[in-house]
Amino acid sequence: MKNKEKRYLPSSGLAFAEETIMSRLSKLAEEGWLLDSFAPLGFWLKRGEPQRLIYSLDMRDVTEDERRDYYDTFWSGGWTPVCSTGNIHIFAAAAGTPPIYSDRETHREKYIPMTRWVGWVALVSILLFGGVLTSELILMSGAEPLLNKDSWAFKVGLGLQGLTLMIGVPCLMMYVAYRWRLWKNR
Amino acid sequence: MSRSSSYELEQLTDPAYYILISLLTPRHGYGIMKYISELTEDEVTVGPATLYTIIKKLEKAGYLTLNEDEEERRKTYSLTGKGRTMIENEMERRARMADHGRKAIRQEREDDSI
């Protein structure tokens, strides 16, 4: 399909490559592919006028009540809200517009709540993984183990381990990436 | 220094200082950014994300309040009494700091000429 109006752009993870993704979005805007919305593990782009845009990401918990005021502040600085998901917000502006953060301290603070959140999730997941694994090992040991590999409890345990790893590992990676960002901007 | 300690120490960061002095007259977000650029002849500009972050902190610390503006349907911010006192103290503190710098330079010149 040559004349398609929508396109999917996979994301390599905002925690790891925020700046690279933002400049990729700028390049695509020059080719007439404008950011439209968040998509699972990526973004939706839509066909539009080719233009020189810059994109910036902010992270903040904004209540419905505060949202208008929050967006208004960005409009005032020449930045258009493009899309938001949870506490992540992306804005676009004409090339040359002054950046959304004008000082290092507030820019650094942007990452603090997210760092804490993924840190906690990673910690809880890893503790849960460790807890399930230890209980299984204890229950399966000895001459007359209380748990064997065919029992449903073992399968539930295995499922739980898989789930905690699926959540815990990406969160741990994100935590390290955000910690690195905070250290770089200290 | 932790991120909130500058307020606990009753001192303002540079952008917080400019935001507070721009609110001697109540303004909305756009007004604050424009005023700071005009006042400082573009020497200081405050980005929207920085402005929003600092405004929320100053509001929490009780230095400014949000008012609903019925006519413009936009929220404006204005100084509280505590905010005004803060500006006065901060202006004096910063003036003293500049004086200290000048004094140090004077002393250095005098030492050189001996």
pLDDT along chain B (114 residues), means of 10: 49 93 92 94 94 94 85 81 94 95 93 79
Predicted pLDDT at B67: 85
C-alpha A158/C-alpha A145 separation (Å) is: 17
Give tens-digit pLDDT for A132-183. 999 888 888 877 777 777 888 888 998 999 999 999 999 999 999 999 999 9
Q: How far is A90 from chain B (nearest CA, A)?
A: 12
| Amino acid letter for position B31 | G
Q: Which chain A residue's Cα is nearest to B45?
A: A102
Which positions in chain B touch A109 (Cβ < 8 Å)? 3, 53
For the record, the structure tokens of A83 come out as 């899309």
C-alpha A10/C-alpha B20 separation (Å) is: 42
Q: Label residue A73 left, alpha or beta by phi (over 0 means left) and psi (-120 to 50 means alpha).
A: alpha
Q: Which chain A residue's Cα is nearest to B42?
A: A98
**Is the C-alpha dihedral spanning A174, A177, A182, A185 positive or negative?**
negative
Q: A37 Cβ partners below 8 Å, 6+ apart?
A: A43, A44, A83
Which of A60, A103, A112 lies at the smallest CB-CB distance from B50? A103
Mutate to test the interface with A, among B50, B67, B68 (most CBs of A within 10 A): B50
A residues 8-47 near B, CB within 8 Å? none
Mutate to test the interface with B, among A60, A72, A88 (most CBs of B within 10 A): A72
Q: B90 Cβ partners below 8 Å, 6+ apart?
A: B11, B12, B17, B20
A39 contacts A68 by C-beta, under 8 angstroms: no
Query: Which residue shows structure tokens 């700028």?
Result: A26
Q: Which of A28, A32, A86 shows the shortest CA–CA distance to A55?
A: A28
C-alpha A37/C-alpha A150 separation (Å) is: 46
Query: Which residue shows structure tokens 């960061």?
Result: B13
Q: Which of A25, A44, A53 shows the shortest CA–CA distance to A85?
A: A44
Q: Which of A70, A113, A59, A108 shows the shortest CA–CA distance to B56?
A: A70
Find the chain B residues whose C-beta atoms sit closer than 8 A to any C-beta of A.
3, 13-15, 28-30, 33-34, 45-55, 66, 74-75
A residues 62-91 near B, CB within 8 Å? 69-70, 72-77, 79
Q: SS3 of B75, please?
A: strand
- Please state the pTM of the whole predicted model: 0.85
Mean pLDDT of chain A: 92
Whether residue A112 has pLDDT greater than 90: yes
As a whole-number percent, the residues of chain A with pLDDT over 90 amount to 77
ipTM value, please give it.
0.85
Which positions in chain B touch A110 (Cβ < 8 Å)? 49, 53
Which of A58, A76, A109 lies at the smallest CB-CB distance from B30? A76
Predicted pLDDT at A17: 93
Predicted pLDDT at B100: 97
Q: Do B29 and A69 touch (CB under 8 A)?
A: yes
Which positions in chain B touch A107 (Cβ < 8 Å)? 49-50
The full 3-state SS of chain A, as one line of letters, equals CCCCCEEEEECCCHHHHHHHHHHHHHHHHHCCEEEEEEECCEEEEEECCCCCEEEEEEECCCCHHHHHHHHHHHHHCCCEEEEEECCEEEEEEECCCCCCCCCHHHHHHCCHHHHHHHHHHHHHHHHHHHHHHHHHHHHHCCCCCCCCCCCHHHHHHHHHHHHHHHHHHHHHHHHHHHHHHHHHCC
Give tens-digit pLDDT for A54-78. 999 999 999 988 898 899 999 989 9
CA distances from B64 to A114, B7, B25, B51, B87 (A): 27, 13, 12, 13, 11
Which of B46, B48, B66 lies at the smallest CB-CB distance from A74? B48
Confidence of residue A3 (pLDDT cuts 50, 70, 90): low
C-alpha B61/C-alpha A105 separation (Å) is: 18
Predicted pLDDT at A162: 94
Which positions in chain B touch A69 (Cβ < 8 Å)? 29, 66, 74-75
Length of chain A: 186
C-alpha A83/C-alpha A71 separation (Å) is: 11
